[in-house]
A and B are shown apart, each in its own frame.
Chain A
Amino acid sequence: MSIIKLSKLEKIYPLGKLEVAALKGVDLEINKGDFVSVAGPSGSGKTTMMNIIGLIDTPTRGEICIEGKNAGTLRRAELTRLRHETIGFIFQSFNLLPVLSVIENVELPLVLGRLKMKKNERREWVEHLLQEVGLEDRINHKPSELSGGQQQRVAIARALAAKPQIVIADEPTANLDSVTGERILNLMKQVNKDEGTTFIFSSHDPSIWKIADHTIFLRDGIIESETRQ
């Protein structure tokens, strides 16, 4: 059963008086529990697609359904809720809040939502996540005191905190060296296996596409090919 379904998805950016078509009719289904990579050269529309799937951007035309819900028909508050309850977002440039410590950053999505969790229960879960990403000895540090790889691991822990069905990661390794990048991806793969969380990550680097069990090749805003293992 598909957890994400895109049909005839188009995205047109206005660029002064011109228009740039970043997505030109994308049809796609992603199954629950898949580890998906979105591949393609720079400018092919990967980021645009990830943002729309992650519900932080809206398509110009076409439909996106998450868990059977058509996002285009949802009200603002419902969209916020769907985003919060089903999706975890890992950003290329980490986007941690600089004033919060590592553990507070990870805890934040839990505080924002209506997930009922007692305070000590919450702490335990967050500490567990940080242990999983290997940062248990850094929990009280500020993001600025961590390396890029460490920050991205915090971001992964944050994306997983609210126990989302889907985790979206747009070029999660682009700002990391290749060894660290591989470690991050293996960590995501581990969680995908253990928790059954659907992962979608994008990359322009062919060497990491092979990790995925479902690869989507984008070129000029259309899906060129798809491979499933």
Chain B
Amino acid sequence: MIFILAFRNLLRNKRSTLLLLMLISFITMVFFWGNSFLSQSDRGLRRTYADNLTADLMIQKTQDISMNLFGANTPVIDDFFVMPVLPAYNEIRTTLEDQGLSQLSAVVSGKAAMDLAGVRQGVPLLGVETPSYFSIFPGIDLLEGELLLQDQPGVMLTRDMVDELREKKGREISVGDSVKFTMAYGTGFRIREVPLKGIFQYSNPGPYMEQIVLVDPQTLRSLSSVLSVAAEEVDIADDTMALLDGDLDNLFTSGDFFGSDDSEFSISDLEEDLSAPAVSSSDIMAGDWNFILIRTETGRNVSRIKKDLNRLLEPYGVTVVDWRTAAGNAAMSVLFIQFFFYGGILLISIAGVISIVNIMLISVFRRTREIGTLRAIGASDFTIAGLIVLENLFLSLIAGSVGLLIAWWGMGWLNNLEIPLGNSLISSLFGTNVLVVELQSLEAIKALAVAVALGICSAVYPGALAIKINPIEAVRRG
């Protein structure tokens, strides 16, 4: 009966009901769309980075500075940054395999100046363990030549980088050409020349990913190993530590510490880094690695594995991080977008709740006499409050469903347009080259839940006021 009463009350106040319907369905729509975009971009970013670059989990040496696959997350500290070598590599590896994690690959990471076809540029280098590296990264697609082989010096470049040199600069580049890497350190250089083995392409590359150069690990190690033999360089390392440990205030005030605003992705700073004499990245020895990348089987709970591994591996002084951390700042950008989106939704919701509450209040005031009558014939607080809540519940369920239907249909329509995504940041956000947002029932349920929560929340205040209406209002005139 109270259901009937609530429902018919809604039907009676057509105008306010319609207004509320539109309001709630609009909020539901915005929420569903926004959330679908976000979860799509979450999946897209995952595809871009986890499939191509970081795998699902990454093991790094535990340390104070937050670090990604290419160095420290803070660009300036990067100048002094020494890529830490993984301690107890063999023990870690055994532990991982004991845990049933077999899809592993170790990498060394560094930066160098690369000379190819007469052009010099700064590049991020990944010295990869083969063939495991190529088996855990299905997103790497070989276009020309062959994959790197174990114990053979060689380098692989992205097609985009090669095309840039070929087309824009008009250079002849083919597999077998010699590529020269130079790593500078305080008093000298270390130079290695290796043959170009293959040209590859990342599936849906993110920004700056075309600059990544894959080499055999020994080449990268030997470029970096100078540090371990040059005594004076050890001093520099000590200086670095002293700087880092020392007066931080002094550091922050010393000029261009924050000069580089470009915190998007650490690779972006390479060009600058390498134009000045750089401190080479590591004192790495044969057999040393900087990171182990882990591919987990699909369907397994990655954050759970991460937690377990962190507990198991803690004694070795290493930390397991997820692909987001491993990818560095680019992957974090989606978090910012998410943050702003939720902020926006929150604002819209607050405005929505205020409007809904206002409309409900008017409808409660208009029915003062009726509610007084209900009281006079024996309705309890619970019944009166229940009536108001029910009205809003009906309303929000209907409005939520309507909003959802429209949103779902609209999204389907948008997907059919297959709008191309030109920009690599945007396309890496969505994980595809055309704008297609997967319609997910989980997001639909979430949006409906938000609508219902909104309805119930905005029934609280009018409900509380309705309870306060005295039965005497039933007979009051006017």
A residues contacting B by CB (< 8 A) are 47, 51, 54-57, 76-77, 80-81, 83-85, 88-89, 91-92, 95, 97-100, 104, 107-109, 111-113, 158-159, 162, 170
Give the interface segment out of B3-11, B79-87, B279-287, B399-407.
B3-11
Q: From A92, which residue of chain B is reached at the shortest CB distance?
A: B475
Question: CA of A89 to CA of B8 in the docked complex: distance in angstroms?
Answer: 24
Which of A76, A89, A107, A162 has a CB less than 8 Å from the CB of B376? A89
A57, A84, A95: the one contacting B378 at CB < 8 Å is A84
Chain A residues closer than 8 Å to B472, beta-carbon distance: 51, 56-57
Contacts of B375 in A (CB 8 A): 56, 80
In the bound complex, residues from chain A placing their C-beta under 8 Å from that of B440 are none
Which of B228-236, B379-387, B412-420 lies at the interface?
A: B379-387
Q: A81-B380, A158-B377 are in contact. List 18 more A-B contacts (CB 8 A).
A: A51-B472, A54-B376, A55-B471, A56-B375, A57-B470, A80-B375, A80-B379, A84-B377, A89-B377, A91-B474, A95-B376, A99-B5, A100-B5, A104-B1, A109-B377, A111-B2, A112-B374, A113-B378
A188 to B353, CA, bound (A): 48
A91 neighbours in B (Cβ, 8 Å): 373, 376, 474-475
Q: Quick check: is B370 within 8 A (CB to CB) of the other chain?
A: yes
Binding site for A on B (CB under 8 A): 1-2, 4-5, 8-9, 11-12, 369-370, 372-381, 383, 470-472, 474-475
Contacts of B11 in A (CB 8 A): 99
Whether B1 pairs with A107 at a CB distance below 8 angstroms is yes
Distance (whole angstroms) from the CB of B310 to the closest CB of chain A: 55
**Please, which residue of chain A has its CB at the minimum distance from the CB of B11?**
A99
Question: In the complex, which residues of chain B have a beta carbon less than 8 angstroms from the beta carbon of A84?
Answer: 377-379
Q: Are A56 and B4 in contact (CB under 8 A)?
A: no
Interface centre among A100, A111, A170 (most CB of B within 10 A): A111
Which of B1, B8, B471 is A111 in contact with, Cβ under 8 Å? Answer: B1
Interface centre among A54, A85, A112 (most CB of B within 10 A): A112
What is the CA–CA distance of A98 and B11 in the complex, to the nearest angstrom? 12
Q: How far is the CB of B467 from chain A (nearest CB, A)?
A: 10
Main secondary structure of the interface of B (DSSP, over half): helix
How far, in Å, is A200 (CB) from chain B's closest CB? 15
- Give chain B nearest CB distance to A113 CB in angstroms: 6
Q: Is the CB of B376 within 8 A of A77?
A: no
Whether A108 contacts B377 by the Cβ 8 Å rule is yes
- A-B contacts, 29 of them at CB < 8 A, read A47-B475, A56-B376, A56-B472, A56-B475, A57-B470, A57-B471, A76-B381, A77-B381, A80-B375, A80-B379, A80-B380, A81-B378, A83-B471, A89-B376, A89-B474, A91-B376, A91-B474, A95-B370, A95-B373, A95-B376, A95-B475, A97-B374, A107-B1, A111-B2, A112-B374, A112-B378, A112-B379, A113-B378, A159-B377
Instruction: Give B383's nearest chain A residue, CB to CB.
Output: A112
CA–CA, A89 and B379, complex, Å: 13
Tell me the smallest distance from the CB of B428 to a CB of chain A, in Å.
56
Are B370 and A80 in contact, with the CB atoms below 8 A? no
Residues of A within 8 A of B4 (CB): 100, 104
Q: What are the 10 tightest A-B residue pairs by CB atom distance, in nearest-first order?
A: A84-B378, A99-B8, A56-B471, A111-B1, A95-B373, A57-B472, A112-B379, A56-B376, A109-B377, A112-B378
Determine the chain A residues whose CB is within 8 A of the CB of B5 once the complex forms. Answer: 97, 99-100
State the Cβ distance, A74 to closest chain B Cβ, in Å: 14
- Docked CA distance A97–B381 (Å): 18
Q: How far is the CA of A89 from the CA of B474 in the complex (A)?
A: 10
Contact in complex: B380, A100 (CB < 8 Å):
no
CA separation between A108 and B375, bound complex, in Å? 12
Chain B residue with Cβ nearest A97: B370
Report Cα–Cα, A85/B378, bound state, in Å.
8
Report how far A99 CA is from B2 CA in the complex, Å: 11
Do A100 and B8 form a contact, CB below 8 Å, given A51-B472, A95-B369, A108-B377?
yes
Contact for B377 among A47, A51, A77, A112, CB less than 8 A: A112
Q: How far is the CA of A228 from the CA of B115 in the complex (A)?
A: 120
CB distance from B290 to the nearest CB of A (A): 70
Cα–Cα, bound, A19→B374 (Å): 29
Nearest-neighbour CB distance to chain B for A82, whole angstroms, equals: 9
- Structural contact, A83 and B376, CB atoms closer than 8 A: yes
State A112–B2 Cα separation when bound (angstroms): 9
Residue of B nearest to A98 (CB): B12
Q: Decide: A77 near B380, CB < 8 A? Known: A97-B373, A99-B8, A99-B12.
A: yes
Closest to A109 in B: B377
- Evaluate contact between A56 and B470: CB separation under 8 angstroms: yes
- Min CB–CB distance A154 → chain B (angstroms): 13
Q: How far is the CA of A95 from the CA of B472 in the complex (A)?
A: 12
Q: With the chains together, A89 CA to B472 CA distance in Å?
A: 12
Q: Which of A56, A85, A89, A104 has the most CB of B within 10 A?
A: A56
CA distance A76 to B11 in the complex (A): 32
Smallest CB separation, A228 vs chain B (Å): 28
Assess the A83–B12 pair: CB atoms within 8 A.
no
CB < 8 Å: which of A51, A92, A99 contacts B9? A99
Q: Which A-chain residue is minimally distant from B380 (CB atoms)?
A: A80
Q: Which residue of A lies closest to B477 (CB)?
A: A93
Shortest beta-carbon distance from A144 to chain B in Å: 11
B378 close to A80 (CB less than 8 A): yes
A47→B373 CA distance, assembly (Å)? 16
Pick from B372, B374, B379, B475 the residue with the most CB of A within 10 Å.
B475
Flag if B378 contacts A56 (CB, 8 Å).
no
